[in-house]
Amino acid sequence: MASEVTDAALIARVVVHDDRHAFSELVRRHQSAVRATLRRLTAGNHALADDLAQDTFMLAYRNLKSFRQEARFPTWLYRIATNAFLADARKRKEELLGDRDANLVDDDDNEAPNPEAQGGDHARGAALKLDLERAMAILSDAERAAIVQCYHNDLSHEEAAYVLDCPVGTVKTHILRAKQKLKSRLAAWAPE
Amino acid sequence: MSDRASSPIDRHDDWLERALRDDALVHRAEYLPDDGFTARVMAKLPATLSLPSWRKPAVTALWAAAGIGIALALPGAYADVLREYLRIVAGHPVTLEQIATGVVMLGVASWTAMVWALRRN
């Protein structure tokens, strides 16, 4: 059965025989994780996330021969996806910053976190989740990437450093700063 | 996530840490249906470089034609040398051992070539 074939075996078939069916199986297996990660990185822009996910798998196909198993295959995909996101973000920086500033003004005016307005625990939890997603948008691209890799993708600092292509210390700094920003932004949710 | 992203400062931010972890759990449990994504990726891959089936016989025929052409174009001196060589070989008395040795060597050469070709493929 296809599900019993390991990623390594599928990769070997793609590299040696240019087996398209094996590559499509790899895409099918990992598309959800890669797209979900990019949705987080793009702060919920699903269309952009899917475009970047396509670019990610195209790059993975072209560079599969250079994959030396120095990391797990999904981690290698996260690295390509994060690089694609950061490159795209650099390209769109001015436009993104403009949009984000506008959104922040709107958020500050109309959608500031208000835990008191929520009812039961379930409603409070859902509201906190929504506010957290919005607050993620105020982080820098690198800070958001560090949070997404370490929390959402459950990578170690070392793995996140590999994905972000930076020293481990830089990852820790990004996380610390991101948490400070989130804490400040979500101060209304802090217990008394 | 585990304790991997935690630092001593995090202990004072339990609510934020818990919120991030809860959000991460939801993220990891979420499965995005393919919805044609894999097909779109596969459609964008560069076309495979496939050679037509008639290519091999055509190349063989071309090489054969070239070989015959070269043989016909050779000056008469080459044909004379070859003819003289064959006459000397034919006039030389050949023993049964020499024939057997020749057959064995031809067999070894054929098998070696076959093994080499199979490994290459």
Interface check B82 vs A, CB under 8 A: no
Average pLDDT, chain B: 81
Q: Provide mean pLDDT across the span A69-82.
A: 92
Question: What's the confidence (pLDDT) of residue A125?
Answer: 73
As given in the structure block, the two tokens for residue A58 are 């195209």
CB-based contact B37 A27, cutoff 8 Å: yes
- Average pLDDT, stretch B51-55? 73
Per-residue model confidence as pLDDT tens digits over A173-184 = 999 999 999 998
| B42–A20 C-beta distance less than 8 A | yes
Q: Comparing B71 with A74, which gets the higher pLDDT? A: A74
- Copy the structure tokens of residue A65: 């021969």
Report the CATH number of the A92-192 domain: 1.10.10.10
**Residue A96 has what pLDDT?**
55
Directed axis angle between helix B14-29 and helix A168-185, to 10°? 110
- A179 with B27: Cβ contact below 8 A: no
Residues of chain A with CATH 1.10.1740.10: 1-91
The top-level CATH class assigned to A1-91 is mainly alpha
Say how far apart CA A23 and CA A189 lie, in whole Å. Answer: 45
In B, which residues are within 8 Å of A80 by CB distance? none
Closest of A179, A136, A115 to residue A42, by C-alpha: A136
> Other C-beta atoms within 10 Å of A92: how many?
13
* pLDDT value at A103 more than 60: no
User: In chain A, which segments carry CATH 1.10.10.10?
Assistant: 92-192
Sign for the pseudo-dihedral over CA of B41, B47, B53, B59: negative
Q: What is the reported pLDDT for B3?
A: 46
CB A150 within 8 A of CB A141: no
B88 contacts chain A (CB < 8 A): no
pLDDT at A2 over 50: no
Q: What is the pLDDT of residue A120?
A: 62
Q: Do B19 and A175 touch (CB under 8 A)?
A: no
Asked if pLDDT for residue B91 goes beyond 50, the answer is yes
∠ CA(B86), CA(B90), CA(B91), 5° rounding?
Answer: 120
Q: What is the mean pLDDT of residues A88-109?
A: 61
Give the start-end residues of each E strand in A36-150. Answer: none
Band of residue A192 on the pLDDT scale cut at 50, 70, 90: low
Q: pLDDT band for position B51 (50/70/90)?
A: low
Q: Specify the residue for token string 């973000």.
A: A89
Verdict on whether the full-model pTM lies above 0.90? no
Find, in chain A, the residue whose alpha carbon is nearest to that of B13: A183
Per-domain residue ranges for chain B?
A: 3-44, 55-120
Distance (Å, rounded) from C-alpha A82 to C-alpha A79? 5
For residue A154, what are its two tokens? 């459950």
Q: Which of A119-128, A134-143, B92-101 has the lowest mean pLDDT?
A: A119-128
B42 touches chain A (CB under 8 A): yes
B35: phi > 0 → left, psi -120 to 50 → alpha, else beta; which?
A: left
**What residue of A is the nearest CA neighbor of B28?**
A152
Residue-level pLDDT at B49: 63
Q: Give the pair of three-digit tokens for residue A140.
A: 């820098």
CB contact under 8 A, B15 and A189: yes
What is the ipTM for the molecules in this complex?
0.76
Distance CA A27, CA A55 (A): 12
